[in-house]
A = this chain, B = another copy of it.
Amino acid sequence: MGITKSEHFTDEQNELATLAKAIGHPARIAIIQHLIKVNSCVCGDIVNELPLAQPTVSQHLKELKNAGLIKGNFEGNAICYCLNEEGFNKIKGFFQHINTYLENKKNQCC
């Protein structure tokens, strides 16, 4: 139905899914990579970096912000976006858990 049955899953599962989903678009991957690359809060030049129209980029930024993966500060006229540690810390544990498991698992059937 295009509607996810969130109420049947745990808060943790829903939260992890929301975070992963927010990362799950090439434009949003590109935004994250760009924010890391320039190593400073970047404003509207994200729009120039991406092959998408300004409203589309604005929408992607909003989704990343809603998910808690970036945050924005007013800087004069413009807005300054950068990574939000909080959001990424929430997924960190999940992937560490997986990696630890994968490093130690043995005698699996596949």
Is there an interface contact between B101 and A36, defined as CB atoms closer than 8 Å?
Answer: yes
The quantity of this chain's copies bound in the complex is 2
Q: Is A80's CB within 8 Å of the partner chain B?
A: yes
CB proximity of A52 to chain B, nearest CB, Å: 7
Q: Which residue of B lies closest to A103 (CB)?
A: B85
Pick the residue among B21, B85, B99 that contacts A92 (CB under 8 A): B99
Is there an interface contact between B5 and A33, defined as CB atoms closer than 8 Å?
Answer: no
Point out the residues of chain B lying under 8 angstroms from A17, CB to CB. Answer: 23-26, 28-29
Is there an interface contact between A13 and B36, defined as CB atoms closer than 8 Å?
Answer: no
Q: Residues of A within 8 Å of B, CB-based: how many?
A: 53
Q: Which label, helix, strand, loop or mixed, suits the secondary structure of the A interface?
A: helix
Is there an interface contact between B95 and A108, defined as CB atoms closer than 8 Å?
Answer: no
Pick the residue among B10, B16, B81, B108 that contacts A40 (CB under 8 A): B108
| A binding-site residues for B, Cβ under 8 Å | 4-6, 8-10, 13-14, 16-30, 32-33, 36, 39-41, 51-52, 71-73, 75, 80-83, 85, 88, 91-92, 95, 97-99, 101-102, 105, 108-110
